[in-house]
Structure 1
Amino acid sequence: MKTSWRSASLAVGAVAVLALTTACGQDGGGTRAASQNVGATAPAGGDYSGLGNPGSDAAAKEGQDTAAQTAGELAVADNPELGKVLTDSAGMTLYRFDSDTAEPPKSNCDGDCAKAWPPVPADDATAGDGVDKKLLGEITRSDGTKQLTIGGWPAYRYAKDTAAGDVRGQGVGDKWYALAPDGKKAKLSNMPGLSVRHDTNLGDIIVDRNGMTVYRFLKDKAWPKPVSACTGGCLEKWPAVSPVATDDTKDVQKKGLMSFTRPDGVKQQTVNCWPIYTFSGDKTPGDINGQGVGGTWYAVTPEGKPVGAPKQ
């Protein structure tokens, strides 16, 4: 009986390893269910990500300068990537924060977060052409100031936007998004969670739903299960891509298209079982500033391979 039990256990173990190899091995196949790829976001250096150390004098000054601006007459700008975007009277893009709530309206961005994302004052805000004045409201913040809301969502500027039309805050930390005139998120129309675009230098590479280039880290592992070697400060520069449903992709290889849970409890998307990331140094769709950084970061082909990486 003991021998039979041991043989059965070994057989079950072998089957389990084989199944995992098929799902995540470099030569294996198989597609995970879409239900494993939904409902999570990955942090990118905290709620204020993008400013490095928000407590520094430079970051604080940058945030204070932006905060000093009034809202004035709100306007609608046409952005080539995002469509219609809400701006203040100076043409600066307004944003919303996924950690806030609209019902009831409430801001969860204070302290260092509010330095990087200055709340838009409500005092003089008016609706210009294309803006429904009924959607304008206000909340009283913890410091007693009044903040503008659009469709219930508290409105912010981004301290790294320095000129009218800048949208550098779009998609930061997978929590910050430019405001559409109706208070919803402005985002690329009809663009799937992961898709492929042709770069003149790199060929076909994967981009996220914001059109931002996706990267792989050569120190990661895909077999026998995905493991990310990018933790702590690394994630501030290389935000993990949040899970994407299988049917929300286009032209991306389905084999090994799955998510996994990182040690911090956050779920991360993979392609061919390799963890994928974006790069904080890419500011607009089409940027490939992360390509080859440190000899370990590379854009990703539709098959999940690192473009131009040295053979290992």
Structure 2
Amino acid sequence: MNTSWRSASLAAAAAAVLALTTACGQETPSVGSQVGATAGVGDLGNAGTGTGTGIGASNQQQDAAGASKPAGQLKVSTNAELGKVLTDSAGMTLYRFDADTAEPPKSNCDGDCAKAWPPVPADDAAAGAGIDESLLGEVTRSDGTKQLTIGGWPAYRYAKDTKAGEINGQGVNGKWFALAPDGKKASLTNLPGLSVRRTALGDVVVDRNGMTVYRFSKDQAWPKPVSACTGSCLEKWPAVAPVDENDVKGIVKKGLMSFTRPDGIKQMTIDCWPLYTFSGDKKPGDVNGHGVGGTWFAVAPNGKPIGASKQGQ
């Protein structure tokens, strides 16, 4: 056997182990790198569909023929929880869907989804006070109809909003959010990508929408992040998107990195553990996902699961 070749191989192997230790070990943080994950077995639970549960729009949203009413002159309202919110001429809140795209504009809400979230027609829409007219546009849906877009994002109403000013669609399944006048998600504060919020559990990590962040004890952090939440599990527990290392506040940066899941979704980690939000949390500060199934836990600022056993840490 060639001893020089063997020595080189051992050195390469040691370097690989060292690199993994740097990325996901207990000593040195690695920020912003991406590691491929392998498929795991999902904990399906009572997974949501991402479409909401409302069936049939209210009279405020439909005309006599059952079609979505035109938006008319858009307005800006002020909500105590969300700040400035975009509404139609009747004061009904307008929403955006995380599964859609703005560049280029594309709606991915059809069928039953569109019954729960009626698309806002582009016809007759006009910018009111406080709204930049250049942000208004339209996208052609799969059925050929034209849908209003705000800053590129397709606009919807929510079937369970029955009167002006309601925001029952805010945060549904972790994918639906009220529109701000500029097309972004309505938010009272401009939060970092990841930060800390005081809740009934104490200090927990939250995303840029103020929603509680969770860990799944069936996931893997070492030697690389692996998510065991796949398929419909991921609809109930949406993966937290990558966050720049400079866009965090109040959390320990050890193991702060992103990785690419087998399904192509890029997911953020703290302490090398994959991060999620919970579709059952409807507003900032909710911690409804904590303790679900004895495997899901809110994340402390140091990346550890709050209240979990040593085995789950």
Q: Residues 81 and 28 (structure 1 numbering): CA distance in 2 closer, same or farther, change over 3 Å? A: farther
Equivalent position SS for 1:260: strand
- CA offsets per residue over residues 253-307 of structure 1, 9 Å max, x none? 1110001111112111000100010000000000000010010100001111000
2:55 matched residue in structure 1 = 61
Structure-to-structure mapping, 1:149-298, within 5 angstroms: 149-151=149-151, 153-161=153-161, 164-166=165-167, 168-170=169-171, 176-199=176-199, 201-298=200-297
**Contact between 1:46 and 1:173, CA under 8 Å: does it hold in 2?**
no
Distance of aligned partners of 1:140 and 1:305 in 2 relative to their CA distance in 1, 3 Å threshold: closer
Matched with 1:56 is none
The 3-state SS of whatever aligns with 1:21 is helix
> In the alignment, which residue of structure 1 is the partner of 2:15?
15
CA contact (8 A) 2:214 2:299 kept: yes
1:49 maps onto 2:43 in alignment: no
Q: What is aligned with 1:3?
A: 3
User: Residue type of the partner of 1:240?
Assistant: A
Rounded to whole Å, the distance in 1 between the matches of 2:15 and 2:213 is 33
State the Cα RMSD in Å.
Answer: 3.2
Structure 1 residue runs without a partner (length 5+): 38-44, 52-58
Cα distance change, pair 195–137 in 1 and its aligned pair in 2 (3 A): closer
- Could you tell me which residue of structure 2 aligns to residue 310 of structure 1? 309
- State the AA in 2 paired with 1:233: S
Q: Is the 8 A contact 2:33 2:257 kept in 1?
A: no
Identity %: 69
Q: TM-score, normalised by structure 2?
A: 0.80
The structure with the greater share of residues assigned to helix is 1
The CA deviation at 1:61 is: 2.7
The match for 1:120 is 120
Shift of 1:9: 1.1
Provide the secondary structure at the position in 2 that maps to 1:92.
Answer: coil
- d(CA) in 1 for partners of 2:152 and 2:22? 47
Give the partner amino acid of 1:61: I
Amino acid at match of 2:245: T
TM normalised by structure 1 equals 0.80
Distance across 1 between alignment mates of 2:287 and 2:156: 28
Seen in structure 2, the aligned counterparts of structure 1 residues 140 and 84 have a Cα distance that, compared at 3 Å, is: same
Q: Show structure 2 runs of 5+ residues with no match.
A: 36-45, 63-67
Aligned residue pair count: 293
2:82 aligned partner: 82
The answer to which of 301-310 and 141-150 deviates more is: 141-150
Q: Secondary structure at the match of 2:241?
A: coil
Per-residue Cα deviation, 1:210-248 (whole angstroms, up to 9, x for no partner):
000000001111001111111111111100101101000
CA distance in 2, matches of 1:140, 1:264: 28
